[in-house]
Structure 1
């Protein structure tokens, strides 16, 4: 790697991650790279003044559980103490975004998963590692990289376009009812309800990870991870261990709360299933809202060292919007429908733009 890349020197920033905002403010506007993996590791913001501003480079996490996480950063950012950025030594200005994406993937395949808390993926450790790149006539084949990434993108765009159409998500126009809910949401009244008044709670069954064959089937295998809606793999296994979907799922040891639409297998009997008692309100949109309420109401209380359990949740309360002293499920459903449209609008427009550009090419 050191034959192709160099570590970029940046000004040392004295900020502690915990003291930095997670959203931009008037002064703190520059994304800062940490040891995380959410949002490409750009989870905090710092002032631009007296800061090294980077763009169109590759970033690498050098600490934490995600050490070695590698991203291509195509917008302005800087790095904090637990991460660094590397630059292509030769003809850097001639590299396209597709080249960077290919190089990032090659680096990630070499280092990700091979380092941990006690063996961090710092530049001095990884710079002597070898990465695999395509060659033609003795030279790195940049044309292949460009074409290959374009093909992958086109395949996924086609799948996304089909998914949006089949699930009728291309209509992102807000109804008058949805507009009204968004406009007045800050004025809605909330109240606290016992979790057990809203949900039936039970522990999941469990299958140890050592007993499964990854990607052996089509049933989700859940763990307590924040990634991919807590799904670590899709497996085939004895159906007597199957748990019913259309529920709120809590990863017991890490308090990761998700909505699970389909039946699933679980990796740990400490995980919890929350089934909505009110059957006529048990739809996807309501439960997406409820999963967020559970997380907001209880997430600050539980962690790896003090994990949630079936016994502990028995006395917990959750804050919900109310109407006539009862949970306002109609409001929940309309709000999530509106938010889904607002989010999907950008996805639809992005897909349409990319497909149009591909057709022109």
Structure 2
């Protein structure tokens, strides 16, 4: 990376010079407005905040008397914190604007200058505020690249774009490396169907070759367990997923540290609406959740069973007026594939779900492989 930056300096014939801030920039300032009486709108209001680009809100200040608007500028608040703003904005009184006369910032230039200013203008506080007069008159300086005694704007743009491209490439490489490692560790990078998996798909596609039988859920897995109520106000922040009714985030409403019953991974939850979900992690559950104990099944058979439970329980018969409870789980009847001897065909269930997982993940693996190779090539260049 450093070789690329050194190459840029040589290409543009860069020299470095000091510039006094008050000589380089036109300095402006904002105005005092009562936020409580400002109508909502889409014009950013830049304040003395030191995060979120200093924006305190969005208002319709276009026709407000005394409002001062600026566009494509750098803001500096009285702490010396600097931000670049491309869009038209209004400013609070203790926020200053910096613009170079007869020059419009590109985004890259705005980012570059705001970073330099942010570094240079440090150490201000409520007791020692940065004023517009200090910006104009005191000897604050920044060092800039020049070519033929003029600010090297082309170099600045190329410099920032090179850094940004490198940052994005590195970020993508890190994410892809994480994905690659995850796929390998979990075995999800293996997307080649086995003979058994192909056979299970062929059976399903052929329709009549799969025999089905109805089973009672309690007879298969024992009585379902009902969770215990835990009010939101009583929940302690922790690491245990707490399952409630709902589809968002798989029904996980919080991560708690309370002393509650912990249910095993490889089990199935059914919420008050009859929605079934497979859990491959330990969790707690509230009283609107029934837990079906499928622990003894292998993962893929449990996933298959979850889908049949969901189909049976989530058919519109349960709602706010008629909740699903653990006793309903005990009475639930589900259809499962059986062998010629009438026993549940767990091998078929497991192979089918494994095949479906490979089919779904195949596109992700192929995409990841291509992106990893492209990213590696770009970084090597």
Q: Do both share a fold (TM > 0.5)?
A: yes
5+ residue gaps in structure 2? 1-38, 46-51, 55-73, 75-82, 88-106, 109-160
Q: Cα distance, 1:232 vs. partner?
A: 3.5
Q: Is residue 249 of structure 1 aligned with residue 196 of structure 2?
A: no
The equivalences for 1:244-283 within 5 A come to: 244-251=264-271, 253-266=272-285, 268-276=286-294, 279=296, 282-283=297-298
Q: Is residue 286 of structure 1 aligned with residue 301 of structure 2?
A: yes
Superposed CA offset, 1:321-352 (max 9, x none) = 11222221111111111111111111111111
**CA distance 1:261–1:126, change in 2 (3 Å):** farther
Q: Cα distance, 1:146 vs. partner?
A: 8.0
Number of equivalences:
229
Q: Cα distance, 1:207 vs. partner?
A: 2.7
1:296 is matched with which residue?
311
CA distance in 2, matches of 1:292, 1:130: 49
The equivalences for 1:145-184 within 5 A come to: 153-184=172-203
Aligned to 1:211, which of 234, 242, 248? 234
CA distance in 2, matches of 1:148, 1:224: 41
CA distance in 1, matches of 2:182, 2:170: 18
Q: Cα distance, 1:263 vs. partner?
A: 1.6
2:225 is matched with which residue?
202
The equivalences for 1:88-103 within 5 A come to: none
2:348 is matched with which residue?
331
CA distance in 1, matches of 2:168, 2:251: 27
**CA distance 1:265–1:148, change in 2 (3 Å):** farther
Superposed CA offset, 1:176-196 (max 9, x none) = 111111011123111211121
Of the structure 1 ranges 282-291 and 145-154, higher mean CA displacement relative to structure 2 is found in: 145-154
Q: Secondary structure at the match of 1:244?
A: coil
1:309 is matched with which residue?
325
CA distance in 2, matches of 1:164, 1:205: 36
**CA distance 1:204–1:145, change in 2 (3 Å):** farther
CA distance in 2, matches of 1:130, 1:197: 63
Q: Is residue 223 of structure 1 aligned with residue 241 of structure 2?
A: no
Aligned to 1:348, which of 361, 365, 369? 365
C-alpha contact (below 8 Å) 2:275/2:313 kept by paired residues: no
CA distance in 2, matches of 1:184, 1:168: 25
Q: TM-score under structure 2 normalisation?
A: 0.53
5+ residue gaps in structure 1? 1-124
Superposed CA offset, 1:161-184 (max 9, x none) = 111111122111001111111011
Aligned-residue RMSD, C-alpha: 3.1
Q: TM-score under structure 1 normalisation?
A: 0.56
Q: Is residue 192 of structure 1 aligned with residue 208 of structure 2?
A: no
Q: Cα distance, 1:302 vs. partner?
A: 2.1
C-alpha contact (below 8 Å) 2:301/2:353 kept by paired residues: yes
